[in-house]
């Protein structure tokens, strides 16, 4: 059977390990999925597509972090020709993170009879302006499939009604954190937890998972300041703000935590995968009241560790509900009451979460998600 050739275009190179792993795994299903990062033109090949010499030469010239004025100008001049030349050699182009910059390439595909998919990542739909959403209609109308989670499907319906329902296919990213979590020795977890806890403290409460203002971290700080004094003394509060934080917002969060009178740690530097896993394993309770969320991998890691997750009641995690994963919903005003209840009866709540590990493995571990990606590409 002839191999189906697919070109996956994505924007941000820090996602490379995730997309490259999925693409490489498609070989098992008779699919050759090549991956190109539009930021730095880094190409990873998994197919037998014979790229033309001119295409290979231009990719080699523009690839990497060259920031000279000349390469910037030349890249801008030749990027469209280069990508169009590349796309013509594939049966399908899969656009990840739908930005308005993708539209001309989608129109090129449609004109040349090249099928294309759109894979939504969240912000491309949830944070798009009305003007951008209107322009994106063309892409949704002419694509083959729209790949997303159930959560994002609901947002799609909010924005466009049910017009594009027939195109929607549900896929999830595999969570590589699960494998790192499984491999991390208990001694490393204990050492990390011991660094967080002062004498007399028993609980590690992790609040949010990045430094963006949408995480509502100042509201969390105010809420934990209202906890009963004995619980505040027994708790260490961890705020992972390793990306997305401005200096001004970081300062505001620190001030709010100082005013709350609690023991806290803010992580504001890059963490390797092992330390991220240690954060998950060392936590007892996680509070997530961000404004919007499209099924965060960070929270999935916490659930995989059987942590007690408390989320804003406005957040809707359809996949978790379908898998009967246990978590708690709250309003912002009720955080102190909910958190006090959980910390006071932590063993009972941990017992309720005991099955989450297996449920998450069956939902978003790599072996669970890869067949869905393959089925979508082959359909």
d(CA 354, CA 133): 41
Do residues 235 and 144 both lie within one domain?
no
Helices (H), the chain: 16-25, 53-62, 69-87, 103-112, 123-126, 130-142, 150-160, 177-183, 186-196, 217-224, 229-233, 247-260, 273-282, 297-304, 318-322, 335-344, 346-352, 356-364, 366-378
Do residues 142 and 199 both lie within one domain?
no
Query: How much is the mean pLDDT over the chain?
Result: 92
Do residues 139 and 223 both lie within one domain?
no
Cα angle for residues 172, 35, 160 (degrees, 5° grid): 50
Do residues 270 and 339 both lie within one domain?
yes
Do residues 168 and 200 both lie within one domain?
no
With a CB cutoff of 8 Å and minimum separation 6, the contacts of 321 are none
d(CA 92, CA 85): 14
Do residues 117 and 77 both lie within one domain?
yes
Do residues 142 and 203 both lie within one domain?
no
Do residues 217 and 166 both lie within one domain?
no
Mind listing the pLDDT tens digit for each residue in 285-338?
999 999 877 678 899 999 999 999 999 999 888 889 999 999 999 999 999 999
Cα angle for residues 110, 113, 119 (degrees, 5° grid): 55
Mind listing the pLDDT tens digit for each residue in 25-39?
999 999 999 999 887
Do residues 219 and 328 both lie within one domain?
yes
H or E stretch at 330: strand 328-330
Do residues 13 and 151 both lie within one domain?
yes
Residues with pLDDT less than 70, the chain: 1, 53-75, 294
Do residues 161 and 286 both lie within one domain?
no
Do residues 182 and 297 both lie within one domain?
yes
pLDDT score for 11: 85
Question: What CATH number is given to the structural domain containing 269?
Answer: 3.40.50.2000
Structurally, the chain folds into a number of domains equal to 2
Structural domain span for residue 274: 177-364
pTM of the model: 0.83
């Amino acid at each position: 059977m002839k191999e189906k050739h697919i070109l996956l275009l994505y924007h941000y190179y820090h996602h490379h390990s995730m997309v490259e792993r999925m693409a490489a795994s498609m070989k098992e299903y008779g699919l050759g999925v090549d991956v190109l990062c539009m930021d730095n033109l880094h190409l990873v090949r998994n197919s037998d597509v014979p790229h033309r010499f001119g295409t290979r030469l231009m990719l080699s010239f523009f690839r990497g972090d060259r920031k000279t004025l000349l390469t910037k100008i030349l890249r801008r001049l030749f990027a469209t020709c280069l990508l169009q030349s590349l796309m013509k050699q594939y049966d399908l182009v899969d656009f990840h993170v739908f930005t308005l910059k993708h539209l001309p390439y989608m129109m090129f595909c449609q004109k040349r009879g090249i099928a294309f998919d759109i894979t939504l990542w969240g912000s491309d739909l949830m944070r798009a302006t009305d003007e951008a959403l209107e322009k994106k209609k063309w892409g949704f109308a002419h694509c083959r499939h729209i790949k997303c989670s159930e959560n994002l499907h609901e947002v799609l319906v909010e924005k466009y009604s049910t017009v594009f329902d027939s195109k929607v296919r549900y896929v999830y990213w595999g969570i590589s954190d699960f494998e790192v979590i499984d491999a991390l020795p208990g001694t490393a977890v204990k050492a990390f937890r011991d660094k967080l806890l002062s004498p007399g403290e028993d609980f590690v409460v992790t609040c949010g998972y990045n430094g963006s203002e949408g995480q509502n971290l100042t509201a969390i700080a105010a809420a934990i300041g209202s906890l009963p004094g004995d619980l505040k003394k027994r708790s260490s509060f961890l705020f992972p703000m390793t990306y997305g934080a401005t200096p001004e917002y970081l300062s505001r969060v620190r001030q709010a935590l100082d005013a709350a009178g609690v023991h806290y740690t803010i992580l504001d530097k890059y963490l390797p995968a092992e330390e991220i896993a240690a954060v998950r394993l060392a936590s007892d309770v996680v509070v997530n009241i961000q404004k919007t969320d499209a099924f965060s991998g960070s929270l999935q890691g916490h659930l995989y560790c059987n942590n007690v997750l408390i989320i804003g009641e406005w957040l809707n995690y359809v996949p978790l509900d379908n898998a009967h994963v246990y978590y708690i919903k709250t309003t912002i005003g009720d955080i102190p009451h909910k958190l006090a209840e959980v910390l006071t009866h932590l063993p009972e709540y941990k017992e309720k979460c005991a099955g989450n590990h297996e449920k998450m493995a069956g939902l978003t571990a790599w072996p669970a998600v890869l067949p869905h990606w393959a089925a979508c590409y082959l359909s």
